[in-house]
């Protein structure tokens, strides 16, 4: 298993033509939307707290493990929302920890609201190459510093339009790209790329509020505008554009059950592969507590060594106006 992951680590961290997405990936992205889009701050119109834990490719030693924490609320000025998001992402010998403060200003547009969001924060990227068993006794100079660590300040922006039955979002949570090379002079090395997210979804009543159909779509892209980089070594990124298609039903404003499919757009041209089929469920308690879980069935060649991927979700929602817990918002 260690040999399998060591190969994956080199692909993810140093691979030039096969560079992958670097931000943590989550199946239930709608449970931690603030992690992707600062404009989501305050969108629930009450204080909301969320925790999410993901164990990807369970059974492979050193596979990705991620956690996020989000809290956001509108202020007395109802047009303003603020929030805090924090995350921890471990992949083998590498670790990213970060936190961001978000600000959103909401403008009434038609039947909904358009939120314009900004965020600022910092990420600590570090590695411990001593955890790797290198095949070459004279390793690449990228490993000369056995425990590199970088503090990377950053800022992001996003747009989020929503009504009671529809939402649309566009965002880039980290706009600054960073070179993760300590002192290496090789042509190819690790770099932190800019990520882009587009989301769209709806809530379609099937039987009033007792049964609501909720389709959604998430598109993720890495380095869309990085070809403007003057350094040619970073213009051929190779990360596929990822698509998450989700179909779910909300029963009696309490039980939420869904399934999703994750793939790369390039998979339809046989240049990539389908990633996973996912099942998930969540339940809203009358107290305001929200609990949930998700399981991803891997469709790639990792299907054999890995035992799938699972997520656990926990949240709590408040309402300041009525001083009591309310039924959950659709988005």
Q: What is the pLDDT of residues 256-303, one digit of tens each?
A: 999 999 888 765 566 566 788 999 999 999 888 999 999 998 888 877
Q: What is the pTM of this model?
A: 0.85
Give the per-residue pLDDT at 2.
40
Give pLDDT tens digits for 61-71. Answer: 888 999 999 99
CATH architecture of 2-317: Beta Barrel (2.40)
Give the per-residue pLDDT at 168.
97
Region of 45 on the Ramachandran plot (φ > 0 left; ψ -120 to 50 alpha; else beta): left
Could you give the percent of the chain with pLDDT greater than 90? 48
Alpha carbon 38 to its chain centroid, in Å, reads 13
Give the per-residue pLDDT at 270.
63
In this prediction, the residues of the chain whose per-residue pLDDT falls under 50 are 1-19, 228, 320-323, 325
Give the per-residue pLDDT at 276.
87
Give the per-residue pLDDT at 71.
97
Give the per-residue pLDDT at 183.
58
Give the per-residue pLDDT at 58.
81
Specify the residue for token string 């039924």: 327
Alpha-carbon dihedral sign for residues 186, 233, 218, 106: positive
């Amino acid at each position: 298993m260690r040999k399998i992951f060591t190969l994956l680590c080199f692909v993810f961290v140093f691979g030039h033509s096969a560079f992958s997405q670097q931000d943590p990936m989550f199946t239930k992205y709608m449970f931690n939307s603030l992690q992707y889009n600062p404009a989501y701050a305050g969108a629930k119109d009450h204080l909301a707290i969320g925790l999410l834990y993901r164990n990807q490719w369970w059974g492979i030693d050193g596979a990705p493990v991620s956690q996020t924490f989000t809290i956001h609320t509108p202020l007395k000025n109802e047009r303003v929302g603020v929030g805090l998001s924090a995350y921890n992402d471990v992949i083998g010998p590498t670790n990213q920890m970060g936190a961001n403060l978000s600000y959103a200003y909401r403008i009434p547009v038609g039947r909904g609201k358009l939120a314009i969001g900004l965020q600022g924060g910092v990420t600590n990227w570090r590695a411990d190459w001593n955890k790797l068993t290198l095949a070459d006794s004279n390793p690449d100079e990228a490993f000369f510093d056995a425990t590199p660590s970088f503090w990377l300040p950053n800022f992001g922006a996003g747009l989020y339009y929503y009504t009671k039955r529809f939402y649309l979002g566009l965002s880039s949570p980290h706009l600054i790209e960073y070179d993760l090379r300590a002192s290496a002079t090789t042509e190819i090395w690790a770099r932190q790329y800019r990520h882009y997210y587009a989301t769209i979804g709806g809530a379609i009543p099937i039987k009033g509020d007792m049964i609501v159909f909720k389709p959604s779509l998430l598109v993720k892209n890495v380095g869309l505008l990085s070809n403007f980089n003057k350094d040619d070594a970073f213009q051929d990124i190779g990360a596929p554009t990822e698509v998450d298609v989700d179909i779910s039903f909300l029963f009696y404003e309490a039980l939420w059950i869904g399934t999703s499919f994750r793939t790369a757009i390039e998979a339809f041209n046989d240049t990539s592969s389908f990633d996973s089929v996912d099942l998930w469920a969540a339940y809203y308690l009358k107290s305001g507590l929200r609990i949930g879980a998700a399981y991803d069935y891997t469709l790639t060649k990792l299907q054999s060594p890995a035992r799938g991927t699972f997520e656990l979700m926990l949240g709590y929602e408040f309402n300041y106006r009525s001083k009591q817990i309310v039924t959950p918002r659709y988005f």
